[in-house]
A and B are shown apart, each in its own frame.
Chain A
Amino acid sequence: MSGLTASMPRLDAEVLIIGSGAGGATTAALLAEAGIDVLIVEEGPWVDQGSVTPFSLEQMDQQYRAGGVTVALGLPSIAYTEGRCAGGGTEVNSGLYFRPPVDVIERWSAQHRIRDLDPDALSVIAAEIEQALTVSTVPGRTTPASEILRDGAAALGWQHNEIPRWMAYPPGGDAVTGKRQSMTRTFLPRAFAAGARMIVDCRVDRLHMAGGTGRSAAVTFADGSTGVITFRDVIVCGGAIQSPALLQRSGIHGYIGRTLAVHPTVKLSARFRDEVNVPDDVPVHQVKEFAPDLSFGGSASHPGLVALALTDHWKAFSKSVVQWRQIAIYYAAITSEGRGWVRAIPGLRDPLVTYRLSHRDRQLLRSGLARLTLLMLEADAEEVYPSFRGAPIVRNRADIASMQQAFAVSKASVMTVHLCSSVPMGELPGRSGADSFGRVHGTSNVFVNDASLLPTAPGVNPQATVMAIAIRNARHFISSRSTTDTRSTTDTRNIKGHHER
């Protein structure tokens, strides 16, 4: 990739962008196209799309933080995943696209006093994103595992949709022939074409601050050597865990890392008469009858993941593992009222992450699992294996009641892939970590532009919302900078003129 730069002990950039996911890549492309000298630093490696099997352990090794084994501690603890590679989470996620929800944007604008956060303007940006990422539905048949969601919901009269994805499909293609239009295929090449540079396998340890101004970044390269990058402005786009952790390590505290929000999910596996498992893809249908509180969808169902899902009650479930081709994994996701913390701990490389579910969250997870089980039975599942310790096998409606009795959230394998809100934007004193356009409060040139800025979890896949807000903020940065530059130039001329006079 032409934009990749070799590591050097001293580097300089007008704008340093830390992280290359949905926020960082879009920001880099827009700033570079505006003529700004941009250097992107990415902690993970560059991995070409298609070079590893999607949703496999190999992908987790190469493209996820800690091999995909990361946990927010709590009762219960919540397993989460973070992309750690060029393109970040966009390289490894489901690719399901939702426009920024208008009601959510309006609520954020009003309740968090975010200036000029206009749903109509974001819709215009969303249309640009849809074009850039070729957002589209599957041209042919969707996968059997996806059609189960559709058919089960239809049988119950529940609202369901095929969700478009950021995929490019070849002519005559079908569900499994699409090519993911992630950041390494879209916005990063755009940034490189406009002159941006990028260093991969380079971790930013901390920012050196002088008063409220960031001066440089201390970095460590993959070979263990260290370096310093000086900049005029820095934009942190490391995601909802790494961005607040870096700010805290840099001595920037404020309202940072205190309001982590996620979409917690509970899962089940369901066995059908026919083969339904497509190991390297995820279902594109979702059930939105109870949204935004509760949504149902399908997960990756690699045989390893099926075995993993069955470990919650291995003694009862294990005999089915050989039938993994007839098994697919589904989830019930909730919009949580709970909140979590991200805390950098001196001397430790990674932050401590905690999360606390509210009473309502627990009730929703319970009812979500029961409803999802019902949906599976309506779609003709022969057996359903809920993912909680000691769960019974569900074969008919009568079994659902006993499953609900046995269920406790503390016994469930709760997980999430959507993390946000750890540096919420807005103008509310004491309730926002950054201003309405991502500048960290108390600093003059340190910005955040990723999922951390979303004031709450949006209730849908957040990538499009993250990208739309990142583009909005990047444009504001460019226009503010032009104003400042014009003023500086004018000031210089004035000073020069004053001396000449």
Chain B
Amino acid sequence: MRPVPSAPIVGPFADRLLALDLPHLDPARRRDTVEFVTRRVDSLPSVMHLGVLVIATVFRLVVATPLADRFVRLMSHLALPLLGEYVRLVRSLGYAYIWESWPDTQANGASTPEHIR
């Protein structure tokens, strides 16, 4: 069993990143997606899990400050070594889940209305 569940560490950043990337994504869908992302992080192989949690802890601390939005916006655009890989991981897992679960989601996260599907 994993000693450290990732939800409280990874969840807040994942939520902010998805809210920034996909502003029209329904909040309930975003919650589902964040839950999926944290579940996947929990099942990562040992070394990767450890590395992700170390980086995620740094992100979590910053996300708890008033600079959170600016930080997430900056990180979502910068391709920094390691730190950028964490953003990429969260985004990849999140997007894969969103478009597999709700394939007609638009690029801004909005649901495509039934009549134009």
Binding site for B on A (CB under 8 A): 56-57, 65-67, 69-71, 73, 77, 224, 302-308, 310-311, 314, 318-319, 321-322, 324, 345, 348-352, 389-390, 411
Contact = CB atoms under 8 A, between A and B. Distances in A.
B112 A322 contact: yes
A304 B99 contact: yes
B21 A314 contact: yes
Given A69-B44, A77-B85, A304-B99, 11 more contacts: A66-B45, A69-B93, A304-B101, A308-B92, A311-B91, A314-B95, A319-B107, A322-B105, A349-B45, A349-B46, A350-B45
B106 A307 contact: no
Given A69-B40, A77-B85, A311-B91, A322 B107 contact: yes
Given A67-B40, A322-B106, A307 B99 contact: yes
Given A322-B106, A389-B79, A66 B95 contact: no
Interface string B102-114: 0111110000100
Interface in B17-45: 21, 36, 39-40, 43-45
B36, B50, B105, B107 pick with most chain A CB within 10 angstroms: B107
Contacts of B72: none
Given A56-B100, A348-B46, A311 B92 contact: yes
Contacts of A73: 47
A67 B44 CA distance: 8
A390 B105 CA distance: 23
A182 B48 CA distance: 30
Contacts of B97: 57, 304
B46 A305 contact: no
B36, B92, B93 pick with most chain A CB within 10 angstroms: B92
A393 to B, nearest CB: 14
A215 B46 CA distance: 28
Contact of B100 (A65, A302, A318, A351): A302
What are the 3 A-B residue pairs with the smallest beta carbon separation, nearest first? A304-B100, A307-B99, A350-B45
B103 A308 contact: no
B104 A322 contact: yes
B43 A67 contact: yes
B30 to A, nearest CB: 15
B10 interface: no
Given A304-B97, A307-B98, A348 B47 contact: yes
B88 interface: yes
Interface of B: 1, 21, 36, 39-40, 43-48, 50, 79, 85, 88-89, 91-93, 95-101, 103-107, 112
Given A322-B107, A348-B47, A307 B96 contact: yes
A308 B96 contact: yes
Given A57-B100, A304-B100, A321 B107 contact: yes
A321 B100 contact: no
Chain A residues touching B, majority SS? helix
A411 B1 CA distance: 34
Contacts of A308: 92, 95-96, 99
Nearest to A305: B96
16 contacts: A57-B100, A69-B44, A70-B45, A71-B48, A77-B85, A303-B99, A304-B97, A304-B98, A307-B95, A307-B99, A314-B21, A322-B106, A322-B107, A345-B47, A389-B79, A411-B79
Nearest to B117: A322
Nearest to A349: B46
Nearest to B21: A314
A224 B103 CA distance: 38
A255 B102 CA distance: 48
A323 B79 CA distance: 27
Contacts of B88: 311
A319 B96 CA distance: 16
Contacts of B103: 303-304, 324
Contacts of B79: 389-390, 411
Contacts of B98: 304, 307
Contacts of A324: 99, 103
Given A77-B85, A322-B107, A66 B44 contact: yes
B85 to A, nearest CB: 7
A67 to B, nearest CB: 5
A325 to B, nearest CB: 9
B41 to A, nearest CB: 8
A56 B96 CA distance: 10
A345 B107 contact: no
A66 B91 contact: no
B10 to A, nearest CB: 13
A322 B89 CA distance: 22
Contacts of B40: 67, 69
Given A308-B92, A314-B21, A321 B46 contact: no
A192 to B, nearest CB: 30
Nearest to B107: A318
Contacts of A69: 40, 43-44, 48, 89, 93
A306 B107 CA distance: 12
Contacts of A56: 100
A322 B116 CA distance: 11
B75 to A, nearest CB: 14
Contacts of A57: 36, 96-97, 100
